[in-house]
Amino acid sequence: MTPLEIAAKARWEARNAGFGEYWEELTKREQREEYDDMRAGLLALAEVELPEDVMKSGRDALLHEREWRISEAVQAREAFRAMLRSIAGGTNV
């Protein structure tokens, strides 16, 4: 499964937990609609300015106690956005 498929399936299963419905029972069209919804969400997230606490989590993960430079913050934000766009592109879906 692609990252897009995994995310869409996890979201669908979380919404439908306890209803006796299974992802595997969806038609290909229904699954594609779920992928399209997830793709739209990822692309929207790629364009929004992230809250400071999210940026801090990313900085902390990258830096491990070294000083953060503005240019690195810009690069990290752009890398994150590129990754989201790549997942949303999901050519295997």
For CA atoms 52, 55, 61, 66, the dihedral sign is negative
**List of residues 6+ apart from 52 with CB closer than 8 A:** none
Domain edges within the chain:
3-89
Query: Which has the closest alpha carbon to 62: 50, 77, 52?
Result: 77
Whole-model pTM over 0.95: no
The whole-number mean pLDDT for each consecutive block of 10 residues of the chain, a chain of 93 residues, reads 93 91 94 95 88 78 67 80 81 48
Residues 46 and 84: beta-carbon distance below 8 Å? yes
pLDDT at site 93: 46
Q: Which pLDDT score is estimated for 92?
A: 47
* pLDDT of amino acid 4: 93
Q: What is the CA radius of gyration of the chain?
A: 17
Contact 92, 78 (CB under 8 A): no
